[in-house]
Structure 1
Amino acid sequence: MPQRSLQNRFDQKELEVNALLEITQAVNNNLPEEDLYKIYEFTLRANLRLDKLTLYVLEEDWECKVQFGTKKDFTQVSLGQSCLQVSEATEISKLDLDVPCFSEFDIIIPVKHKDRLLAFVFLKVKSEIEDLIDTTFIQALSNIILVAIENKRLARKQLEQQALQRDIEIASDVQNFLFPKDLPRTDKIEIKAFYQPCQTVGGDYYDYITLEDQNQFVVCIADVSGKGVPAAILMSNFQAVLRTVSRTAKNPKEVVTELNYQLSRNANRENFITFFLAVYDYDTKDLRYINAGHNPPMLMNGSAEVQRLTVGTTVLGAFEPLPFMEMGTVSGLEDFSLFLFTDGLTETFDDKEEEFGAERLQAFLESNHGRPLDDVHNDLLKALDDYRKSQPFSDDLTFLSCRVKNGTA
């Protein structure tokens, strides 16, 4: 072998060793991904004197991350099946290309890590150094860069997930403060509620508020569109307005009007809330209510016969002002039960994709009228579990029972 040729090979190997050292140092310096790709490009161009290069990396999809010297903008070109089937360094001329523009290159080199495909490198080398190009070195160099970038990406995702988990835990704690800590259980009134979010944080809400100076109480339930942290945040704002307004408003219409106004401002009409609000007066024995697009609660006035409370308006947050509103009134209520729920209950599905539905719920309540609320709730949960079998709950599950005994002694 001529002395000059040996010297050229020696010089080339020295360049490759130096390139590996430079890349390794760049990785150890914890540089951003964009900088690592730039160093990768510069190293190959300067040390290997390539004519053209394109690097495709597998992220969510195959993306062109580096290119130089090319006629085509490969950031706009998808890899074809002929390239994806390459398992070792291969001359482009030997492929039956289904994406003709890759004929710009001489060779395609797959880059793997632990038998997992990471990238493809496309090269066109200068003719005078063609016999000096070592594809193994290019694979090693690409592997170092890509594994480092992938580790960065995984670390970033882990940090993001940890931050999201902290946010969810905070939102969950905040949401727990929304629900009343103590529900009444006296000879005059008993309230029992159940809440199970579909995710860690849900968008359902219920409340009980006493208006002692008026000898009245408020009971309500709501369901915000969407799930997760955004739904919980919106519901927390909703609760704050409700508790403030309900103590000063003259009637349920004023409460609902103000809630809709505040929700329209805070949510920019991108979210809406279904809502039911009832106010019971111990003195007049009247129940005034407004149903804002919510599942109609079921009222049982001293017997097992159910009356569904449907009067009201449309969902809150979609229109400002509300296009219509009517307040419902049920008079002469002394000993009665009121059952409120969100659609997570009636939209519990079985293996045939049939929902539990309001009719089954009404039949259950009628057959269990007068039983202790603890037993009613436990048996209802069992009935839902038996009905859905292997199907998961697809929405937050919330329901509340209110039983009043206000008859004269």
Structure 2
Amino acid sequence: MKGTSLDIKDLQLNALLEVTQAVNNNLPEDDLLKIYKFTLLADLKINKLALFTERSGEWVCRVNFGTKNDLLGSELPEKYKELKNQIGLVDATFDEFDSVFPVYHKNKLLSVVFIETDSKLGVQDRFLNALTNIILVAIENKRLARQQMEQEAYRRELEIAKKVQNFLFPKELPKIERLQIEAFYLPHHDVGGDYYDYIQIDENKFLACIADVSGKGVPAALLMSNFQASLRALVRQTKDLKDIIEELNLTTYVSGNAENFITFFAGIYDFKTKELEYINCGHNEIILKKSDGIELLNDGTTVLGMFDPLPFIETKRIKNLDEFFLFTYTDGLTETFNEEDEAFEFERLLKILKDDCPQDLSEFHNQILEALNQFKGNKPFHDDITMLSCRIQNK
């Protein structure tokens, strides 16, 4: 009897040493579970075992041996997820086992273990529970460490993307008598998928644009940064708006793998000819306010990046424009919702624009923001909001 007790202690000590060494060697999760399995088989003489843990939101069997049926990958019945103490088994599903016990760490359930032991050996269930706890706590700590590393990597990636995005927007916008441009940008996350720009083409022409990429966060910001770089390079090569759009579409199609798309509006104004050439690529209705009323700029093509070549494309010229106001925006503005889940919508925006051309563009943007905040109440914004306004006095 005394010898048997010493043998058991030796077996437990060997098992503890093997598991501890495996943990200290920082082995991968699957390797830790393999060592746990073989330690139970070789040192503790466990006849049958099924260990269930949570993985990707599902409780499945990760370690199994000795059973008639292979339980690996099988799901744990819901009633065992509420288990607090070890119990004997009268469950037909697990009738091969003697008992089942839960393993907790800081009130969190880490695993549920079904076992059948050699009664002659008299292995203490408390020791098996402790050994299982060591392995699973080590795995849990590895998971938390990996999660922390991933979060840190994402934080660094986010920081880089934010810096990249800051370079997207022009540092200065013209504010002279004949040309005033004002922009407002409110990202939903730290980085977003909206973009606006002002590019001086020559002494008489400039391009103003606004864009919105599908998706949010870092991928959207990086796709948009590539789009901006392509646009600026193309404008240096050609003034043909149709050619620019066709090349931008191809670039976006390749960069986004035809899975992401960009809505885009661009207008080129010529102070000499007093003409505005524009194209709307699946973007929102753009508002042009003239002395004789409001015109909506919708002509162009479909979104960029989904088709190559574009199924249709058309630019439009508006002549005799010497004094006007151009208002561009992304759909985060009109798709702001209130507490009754009603959208702000285009009609409310038009009502704000019913008066004369705004003199102070920054104040005008604040007016729209105030209307948005009053409309949404306590409901948060759910998308990036960007506005670009342009006021021309060319008389």
Q: Aligning the two structures, in what range does the TM-score lie when normalised by the shorter sequence?
A: over 0.9
**2:19 alignment partner, SS class:** helix
Equivalent residue number for residue 172 of structure 2: 182
Pairs within 5 Å for 1:156-195: 156-195=146-185
The two structures have a TM-score, normalised by structure 1, of: 0.93
Match of 1:278 in 2: 267
Instruction: Determine which of 321, 344, 355 is the counterpart of 2:332.
Output: 344
- Alignment identity in percent? 51
Compared CA separation, residues 24 and 368, structure 1 to 2 (3 A): farther
Question: Take 2:386 and 2:81, find their aligned partners in 1: how far apart are those partners?
Answer: 50
What residue number does 2:67 align with? 70
Contact residue 89 and residue 135 of structure 1 kept, 8 A: no
Paired residue secondary structure (1:317): coil
Q: Which runs of 5+ in 1 are unaligned?
A: none
Amino acid in structure 2 at the alignment position of 1:394: H
Q: For 1:239-278, what aligned pairs fall within 5 Å after superposition?
A: 239-278=228-267
User: Does the 8 Å CA contact 2:258/2:305 hold for their aligned counterparts?
Assistant: yes
Question: 1:32 aligned to 2:22?
Answer: no
Q: Aligned-pair distance for 1:27?
A: 1.7
Deviation at 1:127, TM superposition (A): 4.7
Contact map agreement 2:324 2:357 (CA 8 A) in 1? no
Between the aligned partners of 2:108 and 2:208, the Cα distance in structure 1 is 58
| Pair 1:86–1:250, CA change in 2 (3 A) | closer
Aligned to 1:140: 130
| Partner secondary structure for residue 109 of structure 2 | strand
188-197 or 75-84, which moves further after superposition?
75-84
* TM-superposed deviation, 1:251: 2.3
* Structure 1 residue 272 displacement after superposition: 0.9
The normalised TM-score by structure 2 is 0.96
Q: CA deviation at 1:61?
A: 2.1
Q: Is the 8 A contact 2:58 2:75 kept in 1?
A: no
**Which residue in 2 is equivalent to 1:10?**
6
Please report how far the alpha carbon of residue 63 of structure 1 lies from its aligned counterpart in structure 2 after TM superposition. 2.3
Q: For structure 1, which segment, 61-70 or 168-177, has the greater mean C-alpha deviation from structure 2 after superposition?
A: 61-70
Say whether residues 1:48 and 2:44 are aligned partners.
Answer: yes
Q: Distance in 2 between matches of 1:267 and 1:32?
A: 35
- C-alpha separation in 2, matches of 1:310 and 1:149: 57
Which of residues 290, 293, 306 is equivalent to 2:282?
293
- Aligned residue pair count: 394
Once the two structures are superposed, what CA deviation does each residue of 1:160-185 show, in whole Å capped at 9, x if it has no partner? 10001100110111011011111001
Answer 1 or 2: which has greater helix percent: 1
Task: Name the residue aligned to 1:115.
Answer: 107
Tell me how far apart the structure 1 counterparts of residues 243 and 78 of structure 2 sit (CA, whole Å): 65
Task: Give the Cα separation in 1 of the matches to 2:301 and 2:19.
Answer: 66
Give the aligned residue type for 1:152.
K
CA-CA distance at 1:357 after TM superposition: 0.8
Shift of 1:247: 2.9
Q: Would you say the 8 A contact 2:358–2:364 is kept in 1?
A: no
1:218 is matched with which residue: 192, 202, 207?
A: 207
| Alpha-carbon distance in structure 2 between the residues aligned to 1:371 and 1:285 | 20
8 Å contact from structure 1 (residues 221, 275) kept in 2? yes
Describe the superposition over 1:115-143 as per-residue Cα deviations: whole angstroms up to 9, x where unpaired: 322111111123533xx121111111111
1:318-333 map, 5 Å: 318-333=306-321
Conserved in 2, the CA contact under 8 Å of 1:368 and 1:376?
no
Distance in 2, matches of 1:348 and 1:366, equals 21
Match of 2:295 in 1: 307
* SS of structure 1 residue aligned to 2:175: coil
1:406 aligns with 2:394: yes
Q: Distance in 1 between matches of 2:309 and 2:18?
A: 66
Secondary structure in structure 2 of the residue aligned to 1:348: coil
**What root-mean-square deviation, in Å, do the aligned CA atoms of Structure 1 and Structure 2 show?**
1.5
Deviates more, 1:314-323 or 1:397-406: 314-323
List alignment gaps of at least 5 residues for structure 2: none
- How far does residue 368 in structure 1 lie from its aligned partner after superposition? 6.2
Question: What is the DSSP-based 3-state SS (H/G/I as helix, E as strand, rest coil) of the residue aligned with 2:133?
Answer: helix
Q: In 2 relative to 1, CA 216–111 (structure 1 residues): closer, same or farther, beyond 3 Å?
A: same
